[in-house]
Structure 1
Amino acid sequence: MVRLGNAIVSICRFNTGGQLVVCCLICGFGQNVYAQDTATGNSEAKAVYAASQTADRVSSVKSDVAESQSARQKKKGFVTIATIGASPLTVSADTEPQRVVEHVISYWRGLFARVLPDRPDLIVVPEACDRPRGLSSEKTNEYYSVRKDQVRDFFAQVARENRCYIVYSAKRAMGDGTWRNSSVLIDRKGNVAGIYNKNHPTIGEIDQRILCGKDAPVIECDFGRVAMAICFDLNFDKLRLKYVKAKPDLIVFSSMYHGGLMQQYWAYSCRCHFVGAIAGRDKPSQIRNPLGNVIASNTNYFDFAVATVNLDCELVHLDGNWNRLRAMKAKYGAKVKITDPGLLGSVLIASEHETIDIDTMIEEFELERLDDYMARSLAHRLKPGNMEP
Structure 2
Amino acid sequence: MNLPLRVFAAMVLATMVLVSAPAKAQDGKKKGFITVATIGASPLTVSGDTKPQKVVDRVIAHWRNQFSRVLPDRPDLIVVPEVCDRPRGLSPEAQDQYFITRGTQVQEFFATVARENHCYIVYSAKRAMDDGTWRNSSMMLDRQGNVAGIYDKNHPTIGEIDKGILCGNKAPIVECDFGRVAMAICFDLNFDELRQQYVEAQPDLILFSSMYHGGMMQQYWAYSCRCHFVGAIAGRATPSQIRNPLGIVVASNTNYFDHAVARINLDCALVHLDENWGRLSAMKAKYGPKVKITDPGELGSVLIASEHDTISIDAMIAEFELERLDDYMARSLSHRMKPAITESVKTKP
Query: What TM-score comes out, normalization by structure 1 length?
Result: 0.82
Q: Which amino acid aligns with 2:270?
A: L
CA offsets per residue over residues 172-200 of structure 1, 9 Å max, x none?
01122210000000000010000000000
CA offsets per residue over residues 126-185 of structure 1, 9 Å max, x none?
001000001011000000000000000000000000000000000001122210000000
Instruction: Quote how far apart the aligned CAs of 1:73 are.
Output: 3.5
Structure possessing the higher relative contact order (Cα contacts under 8 Å, 6 or more residues apart): 2
Aligned to 1:58: none
Instruction: Quote how far apart the aligned CAs of 1:209 are.
Output: 1.3
Structure 1: distance between partners of 2:151 and 2:201: 15
Whether contact under 8 Å (2:31, 2:267) holds in the other structure is: yes
Whether contact under 8 Å (2:26, 2:310) holds in the other structure is: no
Q: Counterparts in 2 of 1:251-266, with a 5 A limit?
A: 251-266=206-221
User: In the alignment, does 2:318 pair up with 1:363?
Assistant: yes
> Which of 261, 268, 284 pairs up with 2:223?
268
CA offsets per residue over residues 12-65 of structure 1, 9 Å max, x none?
xxxxxxxxxxxxxx9x9849xxxxxxxxxxxxxxxxxxxxxxxxxxxxxxxxxx
Match of 2:125, SS state, is strand
User: In the alignment, does 2:54 pair up with 1:99?
Assistant: yes
> Which of 104, 118, 136 pairs up with 1:181?
136
Instruction: Quote how far apart the aligned CAs of 1:71 are.
Output: 6.6
Aligned to 1:302: 257
> Which of 128, 142, 153 pairs up with 1:198?
153
Structure 1 runs, 4 residues or longer, greater than 4 Å off: 28-31
Structure 1: distance between partners of 2:37 and 2:11: 47
Q: Counterparts in 2 of 1:116-131, with a 5 A limit?
A: 116-131=71-86
Aligned to 1:213: 168
Match of 1:284, SS state, is coil
Whether contact under 8 Å (2:28, 2:312) holds in the other structure is: no
CA offsets per residue over residues 81-125 of structure 1, 9 Å max, x none?
000000000011110000000000000000000000000000000
Structure 2: distance between partners of 1:120 and 1:315: 25
Aligned to 2:301: 346
Match of 1:348, SS state, is strand
Using the aligned pairs only, state the percent identity. Answer: 76
Whether contact under 8 Å (2:182, 2:198) holds in the other structure is: yes
> Which of 316, 340, 348 pairs up with 1:385?
340
Structure 1: distance between partners of 2:220 and 2:315: 28
Structure 2: distance between partners of 1:29 and 1:190: 50
Structure 2: distance between partners of 1:227 and 1:279: 20
Match of 2:109, SS state, is helix
Structure 2: distance between partners of 1:363 and 1:74: 14
Structure 2: distance between partners of 1:259 and 1:320: 35
Structure 1: distance between partners of 2:11 and 2:98: 70
CA offsets per residue over residues 254-279 of structure 1, 9 Å max, x none?
00000000000000000000000000
Match of 2:70, SS state, is helix
Structure 1: distance between partners of 2:172 and 2:98: 29
Aligned to 1:246: 201
Aligned to 2:3: none
Aligned to 1:292: 247
Aligned to 1:172: 127
Structure 1: distance between partners of 2:339 and 2:270: 30
Aligned to 1:146: 101
Query: Where does structure 1 lack aligned partners over 5 or more consecutive residues?
Result: 1-25, 32-69
Q: Which amino acid aligns with 2:160?
A: E
Structure 2: distance between partners of 1:343 and 1:235: 25
Aligned to 2:90: 135
Aligned to 2:36: 81
Whether contact under 8 Å (2:46, 2:88) holds in the other structure is: yes
Aligned to 1:231: 186
Structure 2: distance between partners of 1:384 and 1:360: 36
CA RMSD in angstroms comes to 1.6
Change (3 A) 1:376 1:92: same
Q: Which amino acid aligns with 1:100?
A: V
Structure 2: distance between partners of 1:236 and 1:150: 33
User: In the alignment, does 2:115 pair up with 1:160?
Assistant: yes
Structure 1: distance between partners of 2:166 and 2:279: 50
Match of 1:254, SS state, is strand
Q: Work out the number of aligned pairs and report it.
A: 326
> Which of 302, 320, 323 pairs up with 2:275?
320
Structure 1: distance between partners of 2:135 and 2:175: 22
Q: Which amino acid aligns with 1:309?
A: I
Instruction: Quote how far apart the aligned CAs of 1:72 are.
Output: 4.5
Match of 1:299, SS state, is coil
Match of 2:69, SS state, is helix
Structure 2: distance between partners of 1:72 and 1:298: 38
Aligned to 1:331: 286
Aligned to 2:22: none
